[in-house]
Structure 1
Amino acid sequence: MGTKQRVGIIYGGKSSEHEVSIHTAHSIIQAVDKERYEVLPIYVDVTGKWVQGPWVADVPQQAEELRYTLDQYEAPDVFALAENVDVIFPVIHGPNGEDGTLQGMLELLDVPYVGSGVLGSSLGMDKVMMKEVFASAGLPQGAYRSFLRSELHADMDGICDRIVAELGLPCFVKPANMGSSVGISKAKDRDGLIEALKFAARFDRKVIVEEFIAGRELEIAVLGNDTPDASVVGEIIFGNEFYDYEAKYKSNNTRLDIPAFVPDSVVTRMQELSVKAFIALDCSGLSRVDFFWNEERDELYINEINTLPGFTPFSMYPMMWKAAGVEYAELIDRLIGFAIERYTEKKENELVAEKFME
């Protein structure tokens, strides 16, 4: 393959975050060190069709405005990926991209890839299982309950009674498996709770309800494999009532403070807790960990982990590392290095197995 490493970037996908993924891929392609890497873009359209070829369009405002016809490009030989690339950088957000399914395929194809493996990715996507692991690890978090869509259909009134009694109102209702704040509602009264549960159940068969925690929304970035590092802390200050999809991607009222104006003691605790969460879920490469901080009581609560956070130069994850002294191109380089490091470490399992069979 020559002296350059060939990096395959898989982007797009069938989820609601298709357009976000296009922006992420475009940013990486523009920033990657062309002296060290040769990039192979692999696009997955909204129907699930895979194509590969040169990136010939600027990022459009809408995904459907892509300025090339997919039919003019060949479908990639997925089974030959390990022969055609040295490493894969998957940037498909949401279901079928960061939930372990794509990672499982890459494991079967025996190709190194950036980010968490099957277990860490699936745990990070499923908010209920994530919180179960957080609880086992002793991480501080708010109370929550989960319900299947079939349970909601069978006994909506009884479930609402239980939520009001055990979590109180207001509360947050979310699909258990969905990224980028899609399907989230803040329920303030019983009628709003019923609508929120129905809305969340449109996106997933499992719904999670979380108690409302008054506090500032803080985030931190984690980078590495077995001994990860944590960045500076960032804070999201938004005009919307909560940080939903609209506030994240379309609102002009959202402001990011990086680094956040918080005491050093809060930064230290967040760094420790975020690394603990990263290791507890068996993550690797990168993750963004979100917290609530009640300033009056000086209490930190972990909210969730995102194993494939937004990754344009203007996303929280790269911006927090930039504030910590790691520029965007260097961050890409480190992540590729961590992917190959983890892949090489896994090969030791095969060597042990071979020796055992001798």
Structure 2
Amino acid sequence: MEKIRVGIIFGGESAEHEISLMSASSIIKVIDKEKFDILKIGITKEGKWHLYFGEVENIENGEWVEKSVPAFISPDPERKFLITLDNGVETRYPVDVFFPVLHGPRGEDGTIQSIFELMNVPYVSCGVTSSALCMDKVFTKKILKHEGLPVADFKVYYKKDLPLTLNTIVREVEEALGFPCFVKPANLGSSIGITKAYNSDQLKDALFLAGEYDTKIIVEKFIPAREIEVSVLGNEDPVASLPGEIIPSNEFYDYTAKYFDGGKSKLLIPAPLAKEETEKVMSLAVKAFKALDCSGMARVDFLYSKLDGIFYINELNTIPGFTKISMYPKLWEISGIPYKELIERLIELAFEKHRQKQALKLY
């Protein structure tokens, strides 16, 4: 049987570059080499594409660039291949399916998905629209709220307005949301640029910090809550994993607690919830997945309020972390789908979605 050639794309220009390297390394190590032929495609922090030929161990430590050649893909649907240029010699590598393992902007936000759509090639990920919507925390919450799904109260501000209206913004947040509150860049993940602000001075600093990562800033009401996550898998008939719970080593599950705390944060898998609570949060995860027109995969993050017992949907991650410690694959493993099988299912879903699109009339 001829192997399926998978272009696994890692790195990228976002602040989550290093996390992408970790996720991609895990996938490449585990994927079934008897079924899949792997093209290791790296994108530098400057946005330059390369095809990497070396050992997978050098991806995570960042040394992969030294053993790679410049590469690019074309949006032309007649050119379903990766093209390399090495000392003026052009080589073409056909690609059957792309597997972007890019977290954050220009990878998880519909940008690269648009190129795959123009190429008319299968890819593992949500589509362009759902990727863009889920990357933007503001649009995510607006749509979920419109669909009658529970989200915490929030306010939206813009970087350009901070210098002139900072005091007005602080008063508005204090009156509408109170302290403490969470301040976040609207388009980023891995808890980068997020602050829990306890007073007006901290809020001001937090707004400017978030503004370093995005022009749009979201301020959310603090909810004393347990942090619950659910993995979702599928296209038109998605299914939810058992939920997991995070007990962060820091005050909240920030970037350091997620990836560099040496295992001090605790992952409770499955989450210690009553049967009806488990069923409720799994059902909400699927509803959120459908409401935002997701496909393939997403991790749905919840705040289980200690005040009113409501599962508030915090966000959806359309390319969730795939490291050895990441919640998405861990939740599927406890739900009956091992890591290697999960990768294969995601690739199958990419082909399934592509076949459905090919059956549609374009004009």
Q: Over residues 29-79 of structure 1, what are the superposed CA-to-partner deviations in whole Å (9 max), with x where a residue is unaligned?
A: 11111111111111111111111132325146643xx15515x52424445
**1:343 aligned to 2:345?**
no
- Secondary structure of the equivalent of 2:178? coil
| Distance across 2 between alignment mates of 1:281 and 1:12 | 26
Shift of the alpha carbon at 1:337?
A: 0.5
1:72-111 alignment runs, 5 A limit: 73-79=69-75, 80-82=79-81, 84-111=94-121
CA RMSD of superposed structures (Å):
1.6
**1:259 aligned to 2:270?**
yes
Aligned to 2:338: 327
The alignment-based identity, stated in percent, is: 45
Runs (5+) with no aligned partner, structure 2: 82-92
Give the TM-score, by structure 2 length: 0.92
Q: Over residues 218-257 of structure 1, what are the superposed CA-to-partner deviations in whole Å (9 max), with x where a residue is unaligned?
A: 0000000011000011011112111111111111321101
| Distance across 2 between alignment mates of 1:295 and 1:166 | 20
Structure 2 vs 1, CA of residues 329 and 102 (structure 1 numbering), >3 Å: closer, same or farther?
same
| Distance across 1 between alignment mates of 2:14 and 2:333 | 29
- Secondary structure of the equivalent of 1:24? helix
Q: Over residues 125-175 of structure 1, what are the superposed CA-to-partner deviations in whole Å (9 max), with x where a residue is unaligned?
A: 000000011111110111000011112222000011000000011000000
1:29-40 alignment runs, 5 A limit: 29-40=28-39
Aligned to 1:46: 45
Aligned to 1:149: 159
1:23 and 1:59 in contact (8 A); partners too: no
**What amino acid sits opposite 1:289 in the alignment?**
V
Aligned to 1:232: 242
Structure 2 vs 1, CA of residues 151 and 68 (structure 1 numbering), >3 Å: closer, same or farther?
closer
Aligned to 2:200: 190
Number of residue pairs aligned between Structure 1 and Structure 2:
348
- Secondary structure of the equivalent of 1:47? coil
| Distance across 2 between alignment mates of 1:43 and 1:61 | 11
1:22 and 1:59 in contact (8 A); partners too: no
2:25 and 2:60 in contact (8 A); partners too: no
1:129-140 alignment runs, 5 A limit: 129-140=139-150
1:121 and 1:307 in contact (8 A); partners too: yes
Shift of the alpha carbon at 1:115?
A: 1.1
- Secondary structure of the equivalent of 1:287? strand
| Distance across 1 between alignment mates of 2:218 and 2:64 | 39
| Distance across 1 between alignment mates of 2:188 and 2:98 | 23
Structure 2 vs 1, CA of residues 68 and 191 (structure 1 numbering), >3 Å: closer, same or farther?
closer
1:171 and 1:212 in contact (8 A); partners too: yes
2:43 and 2:49 in contact (8 A); partners too: yes
Shift of the alpha carbon at 1:81?
A: 3.4
- Structure with the higher strand share, 1 or 2: 2
Shift of the alpha carbon at 1:297?
A: 3.4
Structure 2 vs 1, CA of residues 195 and 123 (structure 1 numbering), >3 Å: closer, same or farther?
same
1:201-212 alignment runs, 5 A limit: 201-212=211-222
Aligned to 1:302: 313
Q: Over residues 311-342 of structure 1, what are the superposed CA-to-partner deviations in whole Å (9 max), with x where a residue is unaligned?
A: 12321000000000100010001000000100
| Distance across 2 between alignment mates of 1:11 and 1:26 | 9
Structure 2 vs 1, CA of residues 67 and 134 (structure 1 numbering), >3 Å: closer, same or farther?
closer
Shift of the alpha carbon at 1:290?
A: 0.6
**What amino acid sits opposite 1:75 in the alignment?**
A
- Secondary structure of the equivalent of 2:345? helix
- Secondary structure of the equivalent of 2:37? strand
| Distance across 1 between alignment mates of 2:186 and 2:229 | 20
| Distance across 2 between alignment mates of 1:99 and 1:61 | 23
| Distance across 2 between alignment mates of 1:67 and 1:169 | 45
Shift of the alpha carbon at 1:4?
A: 1.0
| Distance across 2 between alignment mates of 1:195 and 1:262 | 37
Runs of 4+ in 1 over 6 A off after TM superposition: none
1:90 and 1:97 in contact (8 A); partners too: yes
2:25 and 2:59 in contact (8 A); partners too: no
| Distance across 1 between alignment mates of 2:176 and 2:27 | 45
Q: Over residues 273-314 of structure 1, what are the superposed CA-to-partner deviations in whole Å (9 max), with x where a residue is unaligned?
A: 111110111110000001111245322111111111001232
| Distance across 1 between alignment mates of 2:344 and 2:314 | 29
- Tell me whether 27-36 or 158-167 shows the greater mean CA deviation: 27-36
| Distance across 1 between alignment mates of 2:294 and 2:224 | 28
1:173 and 1:196 in contact (8 A); partners too: yes
**1:69 aligned to 2:66?**
yes
